[in-house]
């Protein structure tokens, strides 16, 4: 993971420019498949941002988000831009941060009508908490001289589909009101980004400035007035959130480093007093009942141990699937990622270990609904990351 970098994605050039104005020293970074990012630092901070443009739609957003996650291994992915408000819950210029995202076009057509089959992704708890804190502090907004009141941050569901919504009486509007009436805003990319984050194990936040009301009053003249202001407000909140996320990551890294130093202090001996138990230790030598801890894990079969642990995880994965915790599609995708991780771990080269770490992170996202699998997988992700 890049502990000082956050990915920010936008769908429109206007939104892209609003974020770019927050960055200093931006340099072009070209992905091997041709996607261009700009990497710079939030002005006045050490927080780096990789900025990318997805274009409209959930599918395009999902592909670029996945590409960005694999390329940069960021602390988090923020999707930033404008959206339409629903039910007059947010005023023009306000910012909505998603607590969860609905892919509202899911459903099944039956003889008695269309039945909703929603997909939902919740925002990671840590990011939600940090966003709420920034909203309470309320010092993130740019100088709004001449723009009226200070924008407010609101938290709630965001609905993401594949069409521009601009009516309160259309069939689509009635569908949303019937099935997703807690949504504060509507747009066209959040579901794709949320899915990419879920599969990759990367935290995602969706941040939208309200530029219209999605009620039939949307027009070019109003867009020219409100879109830049809404995009600028969303960019300002996102930039501040990115800085705070990197700061939190640095604090966590320092705490882990302190724990590591404590664990690395020499110990005179290790004694096993548990009856009929097994103790596994990476040791340099054993003399009587004393175990001397001075071996290099990389030189004592760490690769074999990781592969063996991954083999064991496959058995647990199969059992969890058989118990019905994982559905068939998730189980198949998890097996693919596990296979990639095992193959890369066997190669034991720096680039291979990096691939193994990425695959394990994606696997962690797939099995997030199973605490047992996540708990078993967490030390394996750390182990692979520590050798990359």
**Residues 189-219 pLDDT 10s:** 999 999 999 999 999 999 999 998 877 777 7
Q: Look at residues 195, 197, 194 and name the one whose alpha carbon lies nearest to residue 206.
A: 194
The band of 276, judged by pLDDT with boundaries at 50, 70 and 90, is very low
Strands 183-187, 77-85: parallel, antiparallel or unpaired by DSSP?
antiparallel
Highest mean pLDDT among 30-34, 259-263, 349-353: 30-34
- Whether pLDDT at 180 is above 90: no
Cβ proximity of 30 and 24 under 8 Å? no
The band of 260, judged by pLDDT with boundaries at 50, 70 and 90, is low
pLDDT of residue 14: 96
Q: Look at residues 197, 192, 190 and name the one whose alpha carbon lies nearest to residue 81.
A: 190
> What is the distance between the alpha carbons of residues 255 and 261, in angstroms, rounded to a whole number?
10
Burial class (CB within 10 angstroms; exposed 0-12, middle 13-18, buried 19+) of 151: buried
Strands 5-10, 77-85: parallel, antiparallel or unpaired by DSSP?
parallel
* Domains, in order of start, for the chain: 5-251 (3.40.50.1580), 290-386 (no CATH)
pTM of the model: 0.66
What tokens appear for 299 in the block?
Answer: 């030189």
Cβ proximity of 231 and 211 under 8 Å? yes
Average pLDDT over residues 276-290: 42
- Whether pLDDT at 304 is above 90: no
Specify the long-range contacts of residues 292-297, CB closer than 8 Å, at least 24 apart: 293/266, 293/267
- Whether pLDDT at 387 is above 80: no
Burial class (CB within 10 angstroms; exposed 0-12, middle 13-18, buried 19+) of 116: middle
Looking at the chain, the number of H-run helices and the number of E-run strands are 10, 14
pLDDT of residue 332: 83
| Higher-pLDDT residue of 293, 54 | 54
Neighbours of 140 (CB within 10 A): 20
Neighbours of 266 (CB within 10 A): 7
How many CA atoms lie less than 13 Å away from 385 in the CB half-sphere?
14
Map residue 289 onto helix, strand or coil: coil
- Whether pLDDT at 277 is above 60: no
Cβ proximity of 353 and 383 under 8 Å? no
The band of 282, judged by pLDDT with boundaries at 50, 70 and 90, is very low
The band of 143, judged by pLDDT with boundaries at 50, 70 and 90, is low
């Amino acid at each position: 993971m890049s502990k000082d970098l956050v990915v920010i994605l936008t769908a429109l050039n206007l939104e892209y420019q609003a974020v770019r104005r927050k960055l200093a020293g931006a340099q072009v970074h070209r992905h091997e498949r041709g996607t261009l990012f700009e990497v710079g630092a939030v002005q006045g901070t050490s927080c780096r941002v990789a900025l990318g443009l997805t274009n409209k739609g959930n599918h395009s957003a999902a592909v670029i988000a996945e590409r960005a996650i694999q390329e940069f291994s960021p602390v988090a992915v923020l999707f930033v831009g404008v959206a339409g408000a629903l039910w007059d819950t947010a005023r023009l210029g306000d910012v909505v941060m998603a607590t969860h995202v609905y892919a509202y076009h899911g459903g099944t057509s039956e003889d008695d009508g269309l039945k909703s089959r929603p997909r939902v992704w919740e925002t990671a708890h840590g990011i939600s908490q940090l966003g709420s804190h920034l909203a309470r502090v309320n010092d993130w907004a740019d100088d709004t001289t001449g723009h009226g009141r200070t924008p407010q941050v609101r938290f709630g569901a965001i609905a993401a589909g594949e069409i521009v919504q601009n009516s309160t009486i259309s069939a689509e509007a009635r569908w949303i009101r019937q099935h997703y009436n807690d949504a504060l805003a509507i747009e066209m990319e959040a579901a794709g980004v949320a899915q990419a984050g879920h599969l990759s194990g990367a935290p995602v936040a969706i941040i939208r400035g309200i530029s219209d009301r999605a009620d039939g009053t949307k027009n070019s003249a109003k867009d020219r007035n409100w879109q830049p202001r809404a995009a600028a407000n969303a960019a300002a909140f996102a930039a501040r959130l990115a800085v705070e996320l990197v700061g939190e990551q640095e604090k966590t890294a320092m705490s882990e480093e302190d724990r590591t130093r404590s664990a690395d202090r020499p110990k005179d001996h290790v004694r096993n007093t548990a009856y009929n138990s097994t103790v596994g230790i990476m040791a340099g030598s054993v003399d009587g009942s004393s175990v001397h801890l001075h071996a290099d894990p990389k030189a004592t079969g760490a690769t074999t141990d990781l592969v063996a642990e991954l083999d064991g995880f496959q058995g647990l994965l199969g059992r969890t699937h058989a118990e019905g915790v994982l559905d068939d599609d998730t189980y198949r995708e998890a097996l693919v990622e596990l296979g990639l991780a095992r193959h890369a771990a066997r190669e034991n080269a720096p680039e291979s270990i990096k691939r193994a770490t990425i695959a394990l992170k994606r696997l962690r996202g797939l099995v997030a609904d199973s605490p047992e699998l996540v708990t078993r997988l967490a030390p394996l992700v750390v182990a692979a990351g520590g050798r990359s």
